[in-house]
Structure 1
Amino acid sequence: MIKIAWHPIYAHPLPEGHRFPMIKYELIPGQLLHEGTIEQDNLFNPEPVSEEIVLLTHQKDYWKQLKDLSLSAKDQRRIGFPLDAQLVERELRIAQGTINGAHFAMTNGIAFNVAGGTHHAGSNWGEGFCLLNDQAIATNYLLNNNLAKRILIVDLDVHQGNGTAEIFQKEPRVFTFSMHGDKNFPFRKENSSLDIPLDDGLEDEAYLSTLNTNLKKAFERSKPDFVFYLSGVDVLSTDKLGKLALSKAACKERDRMVLQACKDKNLPLQVSMGGGYSVDIKDIVDAHCNTFRLAFDLFA
Structure 2
Amino acid sequence: MVKIAWHHLFAHPLPEGHRFPMLKYELIPEQLMHEGVITGASLFAPEEVAEEVILWSHDKGYWAQLRDLTLPPREQRRIGFPLTAQLLERETRIAQGTIDGAVYAKANGIAFNVAGGTHHAGSNWGEGFCLLNDQAIAANYLLKKGLASRILIIDLDVHQGNGTAEIFYNEPRVFTFSMHGDKNFPFRKETSDLDIPLEDGVTDEQFLKKLEETLPTLLSHQPDFVFYLSGVDVLESDKLGKLALSKEGCAARDRKVLQFCKDNGLPVQVSMGGGYSPNIRDIVDAHCNTFKIGLDIFE
TM-score band, normalised by the shorter chain? Answer: over 0.9
Deviations 1:117-168, CA, capped at 9 Å, x for gaps: 0000000000000000000000000101111000000000000000000000
* 1:135 alignment partner, SS class: helix
* 1:206 alignment partner, SS class: helix
How far off its partner does 1:221 sit? Answer: 2.6
Matched to 2:191, the amino acid is N
* 1:28 alignment partner, SS class: helix
1:235 has 2:234 as partner: yes
How far off its partner does 1:175 sit? Answer: 0.1
Once residues 204 and 51 of structure 1 are traced to their aligned partners in structure 2, the CA distance between those partners, rounded to angstroms, is 41
* 2:236 alignment partner, SS class: coil
Q: Which residue is equivalent to 1:280?
A: 279
Contact 2:160–2:181 under 8 Å retained in 1? yes
* 1:69 alignment partner, SS class: coil
Q: Which residue is equivalent to 1:60?
A: 60
Q: Which residue is equivalent to 1:89?
A: 89
* 1:18 alignment partner, SS class: coil
Once residues 298 and 74 of structure 2 are traced to their aligned partners in structure 1, the CA distance between those partners, rounded to angstroms, is 44
1:1-300 correspondence runs (5 A):
1-218=1-218, 220-300=219-299
In structure 1, stretches of 5+ residues that fail to align are: none
Percent identical across equivalent pairs?
72
Once residues 17 and 236 of structure 2 are traced to their aligned partners in structure 1, the CA distance between those partners, rounded to angstroms, is 23
Q: Which moved more, 1:112-121 or 1:209-218?
A: 209-218
TM-score (norm 2): 0.99
How far off its partner does 1:82 sit? Answer: 1.1
Once residues 215 and 30 of structure 1 are traced to their aligned partners in structure 2, the CA distance between those partners, rounded to angstroms, is 32
In structure 2, stretches of 5+ residues that fail to align are: none
Once residues 278 and 19 of structure 2 are traced to their aligned partners in structure 1, the CA distance between those partners, rounded to angstroms, is 10
How far off its partner does 1:19 sit? Answer: 4.4
Once residues 253 and 295 of structure 2 are traced to their aligned partners in structure 1, the CA distance between those partners, rounded to angstroms, is 16
* 1:195 alignment partner, SS class: strand
Once residues 18 and 204 of structure 1 are traced to their aligned partners in structure 2, the CA distance between those partners, rounded to angstroms, is 32
Deviations 1:181-210, CA, capped at 9 Å, x for gaps: 000000000000000000000011011001
Once residues 57 and 107 of structure 1 are traced to their aligned partners in structure 2, the CA distance between those partners, rounded to angstroms, is 24
Deviations 1:216-257, CA, capped at 9 Å, x for gaps: 222x23210000000000000000010000000000000000
